[in-house]
Structure 1
Amino acid sequence: MKTIIRAAFEKTLADWAAAQTPKIPVAYENVAFTPPATGPYLRCFLLPADTADNTMAGQLSEYRGLFQVNVVCPAGTGPTAAEALTAAITALYPAKSRLSFGGQAVMIATPMRERPALQDVNAFVIPMDCKYCLVV
């Protein structure tokens, strides 16, 4: 099920990023990626939690976890561009909506939450995440 959950989130993000002007590069887990020399990019991660089965008969599996997107902008450019991207990504994944893929519907259980920004010599990063749930 992780493959379906990941694909549902990543396809939504990829389609949105490709439609931006200019396009926003997206880095995926364990896929070769060269960050752009200038301009923003996104890094996404699927962080699964324990799978649950809360039925007496053991007939339903509940897959939960976090989908994380790191918004990465060049250091020294201020927070405005990163904050605009976080607002757009928050709108892309509204709480209680569903992402369909492979005949399954992944529910976004919480709104995207911005975490404290991270600053280093080369980049300004705002991590954000939402909780998801898929019951099959």
Structure 2
Amino acid sequence: MSHARARRAIEVKLDAWAEAEGLMVAHGAEPFDPPEGQVYLRAFLIPASTTCRYLNASELEYSGIYQVSIITPIDQLISVPEQIIDQLSALFPLDSLLDRAGFLGQVSAPVEQGPTITEPDRYTVPASFTYRGSAAP
């Protein structure tokens, strides 16, 4: 299952950066207690269909979207998540390598900001990029 290896290749980079920045990251459906009144990240892998171009099935191709939602207290300026998106763009630039346990891939589209989702006490700004890569079955 190389989508899992792609996810881990991304998460290892994301987690190291977030720790250095003092940001907490919730991954997918893992249990997480959000910090009150602080910015934090919620990250998801959205896999696409696995394909194979080779008749002998020697390699499978994996692609998908990795989304990082920036959850921000309502009293923070929009520039706070926008700066984080700029940092994510530098962390995962177009064509950068993703390598983990037999999965070899790359970021195939740049980090893009999605629409802001507001709630009474916070707002969420999603950012995402696409990846693609291959691994032996």
Q: Same fold (TM over 0.5)?
A: yes
Paired residue secondary structure (1:12) = helix
Q: Which amino acid aligns with 2:61?
A: E
Q: Deviations over 1:66-117 (max 9, x none)?
A: 0110011101322011111111111110011112222432211011111111
User: How far apart are the structure 1 equivalents of 2:103 and 2:8?
Assistant: 11
Structure 2: segments with no counterpart, 5+ residues: none
Whether 1:12 and 2:13 are equivalent positions in the alignment is yes
Q: What is aligned with 1:37?
A: 36
User: How far apart are the structure 2 equivalents of 1:54 and 1:105?
Assistant: 16
CA contact (8 A) 1:8 1:106 kept: no
Q: Under a length normalisation based on structure 2, what TM-score does the superposition of the two structures give?
A: 0.91
CA RMSD in angstroms, aligned pairs only: 1.3
Report which of the two has the higher share of strand.
Answer: 2
Q: Under a length normalisation based on structure 1, what TM-score does the superposition of the two structures give?
A: 0.92
Structure 1: segments with no counterpart, 5+ residues: none
Whether 1:126 and 2:125 are equivalent positions in the alignment is yes
Q: CA deviation at 1:24?
A: 0.3
User: How far apart are the structure 1 equivalents of 2:70 and 2:104?
Assistant: 26
Structure 1 vs Structure 2: percent identity of aligned residues? 28
Paired residue secondary structure (2:109) = coil
Paired residue secondary structure (1:110) = strand
